[in-house]
Amino acid sequence: MNCIYSLVKQISLKPLFLLTFFFASLTYGWSADGAKIFKQNCSRCHTIGHGLLTGPDLKDVASRVPQPADTWLFNWIKNNKKVLASGDAYANKVFNENGKQNMDVMDGVISDDDIKAVIAYVKNPPVEAKPAGGGEKTETAHAEEKGMSTFAVLLIVAIALIFLVAVLGNVKKNLQDIVNAKKGLPPSEPVGAVKWASQNKRTFVLILLVLGFFTLRAIYIGVMNIGVYDTYKPEQPIKFSHKTHAGKLAINCVYCHSGAEKGKTSGIPSVNVCMNCHKAISEGPLTGKVEIAKIYDAVGWDPATGKYNKPQHPLKWNRVHALPDFAYFNHSQHVVVGKQDCKNCHGDIASMDVAQQISPLTMGWCVECHRKTEVPGMATNPYYADLHKKLAEKYKGEPITVEKMGGLDCIKCHY
């Protein structure tokens, strides 16, 4: 340790600052990445061009809000309650049109630069490329599309080139030493990168330390993204359309997923639930009789005789949303007690023909939600009346979030 301390102490700070700034500019350049910030903080309530969620669709929002748009949007995102309290006519119009649902206050959650980055992203979102042939993306296709970050690729290439140069320089020196030995000449002096490294050991060690740090960081980020999907859309044994059932027909989610109000998991409905309607409905608006016939085949139903007199063939549904076993999540706590809309986690299922994962469902995403989400008051949750009263006295007018109720304690989700 003393040697390392002595080495660092003697190194000039100027190259250290330059190297740190260079790599930091590459690595942390996404700190103002509007797409990432939008995804982490806004996507559970808003889409850009994909319809209404909990909040309005933000496509062309800059042309709808009071001008100058950037200023109004900045103030609204930073503290929408303050804008509403000011009597802003447009703000109150949007508030009333969207069920008087309070938007999260971002002041103190994200920086001013992040807010500006989100505004820039919303005004100019990237054009989505559709897969060739119009097919649906699978999990494998999504993983290939995601790939490694540009920084990770550049870092790997840079390290490989440095290693290659060092090896070739050493090989060249060894060959020259062999020739010199035969001629009776002294060993050759180091050349190129090897010579520079031998003459600038402190700077060379510093560069290795910096590269090592950012390499480990890139590896860490890559490992943390393993198994994290936000557009996972697996094929199902039956082409069930949520858009038709939950959207057009307005069937309540809990009719099929009854467990969402009663326990930990929402549950996959049995085919018998489907048969409650499809004994009488044998043809659908999108696929005709083909897909409904698969339901009949699964339960052994004969539509000609109106009896269950055929062999059964259970369906094997592919799970879309899944949390690791070490993370505890209870649907009833969020749906019944927390009064959370299904859209907040699952997106606007009513607009999807095929269900897909919208939110990353990572720990960071859940923690951020607990930090921002206000819990229902005493009127909707009499069981927690005493707790709410104490918290209201403690925080004196501040919004009571899940975090303030102990929602960030590790034991709440990991035990």
Q: What local confidence, expressed as pLDDT, does residue 379 receive?
A: 57
Collapse the DSSP code of 204 into the 3-class scheme (helix H, G, I; strand E, B; otherwise coil) and give the result.
helix
Task: DSSP letter for 302, please.
Answer: B
- 220 and 291 Cβ atoms separated by less than 8 Å: no
Q: What local confidence, expressed as pLDDT, does residue 313 receive?
A: 92
Adjacent-strand bridge partners of 302: 307
Residue tagged 């009789």 (tokens): 289
Task: Work out the number of other CB atoms within 10 angstroms of the CB of residue 89.
Answer: 8
Q: What local confidence, expressed as pLDDT, does residue 395 receive?
A: 87
Q: What local confidence, expressed as pLDDT, does residue 378 receive?
A: 58
**Using CA atoms, how far apart are residues 28 and 390, in angstroms rounded to an integer?**
41
Where does residue 60 rank: exposed (0-12), middle (13-18), buried (19+ CB within 10 A)? exposed
Task: Work out the number of other CB atoms within 10 angstroms of the CB of residue 73.
Answer: 21
pTM to 2 decimals? Answer: 0.55
Domain ranges of the chain: 1-28+147-233, 33-128, 374-415
Q: What local confidence, expressed as pLDDT, does residue 329 receive?
A: 93
Adjacent-strand bridge partners of 338: none
**Using CA atoms, how far apart are residues 345 and 14, in angstroms rounded to an integer?**
48
What is the CATH number that goes with domain 33-128?
1.10.760.10
Where does residue 155 rank: exposed (0-12), middle (13-18), buried (19+ CB within 10 A)? buried
The token pair at 289 is: 């009789």
- 89 and 150 Cβ atoms separated by less than 8 Å: no
Q: What local confidence, expressed as pLDDT, does residue 239 receive?
A: 92
- Nearest CA-CA partner of 308 in 258, 272, 357: 272
Q: Within its chain, how far is the Cα of 394 from the centroid?
A: 33
Q: What local confidence, expressed as pLDDT, does residue 238 receive?
A: 93
| Residues, the chain | 415
Q: What local confidence, expressed as pLDDT, does residue 37 receive?
A: 83
Q: What local confidence, expressed as pLDDT, does residue 29 receive?
A: 41
Residue tagged 């260079």 (tokens): 22
Q: What local confidence, expressed as pLDDT, does residue 381 receive?
A: 64
- 146 and 221 Cβ atoms separated by less than 8 Å: no
pLDDT < 50 stretches in the chain: 1-31, 131-147
- 175 and 265 Cβ atoms separated by less than 8 Å: no
Q: What local confidence, expressed as pLDDT, does residue 169 receive?
A: 74
